[in-house]
């Protein structure tokens, strides 16, 4: 469903993504792990067109394009089918939790307000935030804000949801509630790519692990097998340090 081929990205003469191939199948939860600076965030940003890649091909469902020459229209089309949850919660401060989740529905999907409100409330309920629908982000904890951000990412009915360390800005006691929501989504068959330092989450919720180091994917495969017996010395050493 999501296929990336030969992705390359340099900053100046520093090549940080060195020709990587990524495959994400329908319903799969892919944990992307690896040392700091290995290019995990850059990879996600290239896939979501927040960063312009230097080379590569991307396919999402029936849409396929060269990642460099892709048109604005095609980018828009592909982004409509992706959800994003990043480290910083990025909610609109001047909108309530409900307003934040409704925004993609009324704006991008041009849904009428009543229908959007109903759907947004359903999504807030899913992440356990329906009781706080009328709160503004500033009145919510980090964990609550991140759960609203997850509801918002789901609003457009994406084919795949991309997460970049969704819990790393949270106090430890708030991490669990966000990971629980993510595990629930995983169990429901939501297709997810999750960059994470939470090995426990990767072990419990991921079907597949992508291990990155120094701009290269060294291993990509079934999660159980990876944790049981990584194939590369790099991955072994990385896991020992966790
Ligand atoms: N905008 C930028 N300009 C220049 N260099 C950048 C930029 N963004 C990232 N880099 C470099 O690209 C490399 C990969 O960074 P990236 O943020 O993708 O790593 P990461 O795997 O997400 O690390 P972490 O686990 O710490 O989040 C790093 O060497 C970083 O310094
Ligand atoms: Mg990162």
- Judged by its nearest atom, the ligand closest to the C-alpha of residue 212 is 1
Residue nearest ligand 1's atom 6 by CA: 11
**pTM for the predicted model, two decimal places:** 0.94
Q: Inform me whether the pLDDT recorded for 89 exceeds 80.
A: no
Instruction: Give the confidence band of 106 by pLDDT, cuts at 50, 70, 90.
Output: very high
Residue-wise DSSP of 66-90: ETTT--HHHHHHHHHTEEEE-SS--
Give the chain's end-to-end CA distance (angstroms, integer). 31
Least confident of 59-73, 83-97, 224-238: 83-97
Q: Distance between CA atoms of 179 and 226, rounded to whole angstroms? A: 21
CA 151 to chain CA centroid, nearest Å:
13
pLDDT at 129: 96
Stretch 61-84: mean pLDDT, rounded? 94
Q: To test the ligand 1 pocket, which listed residue (9, 12, 16) has its Cβ within 8 A of the most ligand atoms?
A: 16
Domain spans of the chain?
2-81+158-241, 92-157
pLDDT at 28: 96
To test the pocket of ligand 1, the residue of 38, 165, 202, 234 to mutate (highest count of ligand atoms within 8 Å of its CB) is 38
Please give the helix or strand (H or E) that residue 194 lies within, else none: strand 192-195
8-44: per-residue pLDDT in tens? 999 999 999 999 999 999 999 999 999 999 999 999 9
Specify the CATH number for 2-81+158-241; select among 3.90.1150.10, 1.10.1300.10, 3.40.50.300, 3.10.180.10: 3.40.50.300
């Amino acid at each position: 469903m999501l296929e990336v081929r030969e992705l390359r990205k340099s900053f100046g003469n520093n090549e940080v993504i060195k020709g990587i191939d990524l495959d994400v199948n329908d319903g799969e939860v892919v944990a992307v792990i690896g040392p700091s600076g290995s290019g995990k965030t850059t990879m996600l940003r290239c896939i979501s067109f927040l960063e312009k890649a230097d080379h590569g091909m991307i396919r999402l469902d029936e849409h396929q394009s060269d990642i460099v020459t892709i048109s604005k229209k095609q980018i828009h089309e592909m982004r409509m089918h992706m959800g994003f949850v990043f480290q910083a919660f990025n909610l609109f401060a001047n909108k309530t939790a409900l307003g934040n989740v409704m925004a993609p529905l009324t704006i991008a999907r041009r849904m009428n307000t009543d229908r959007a409100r109903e759907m947004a409330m359903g999504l807030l309920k899913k992440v356990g935030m329906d009781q706080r629908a009328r709160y503004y982000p500033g009145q919510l904890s980090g964990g609550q804000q991140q759960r609203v951000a997850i509801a918002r990412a789901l609003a457009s009915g994406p084919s795949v949801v991309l997460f970049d360390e969704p819990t790393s800005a949270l106090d430890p006691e708030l991490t669990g509630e966000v990971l629980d929501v993510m595990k629930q989504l995983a169990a429901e068959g939501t297709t997810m790519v999750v960059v994470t330092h939470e090995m426990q989450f990767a072990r419990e919720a991921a079907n597949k692990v992508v291990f990155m180091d120094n701009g290269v994917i060294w291993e990509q495969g079934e999660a159980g097998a990876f944790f049981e017996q990584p194939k590369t010395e790099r991955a072994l050493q990385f896991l020992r340090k966790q």
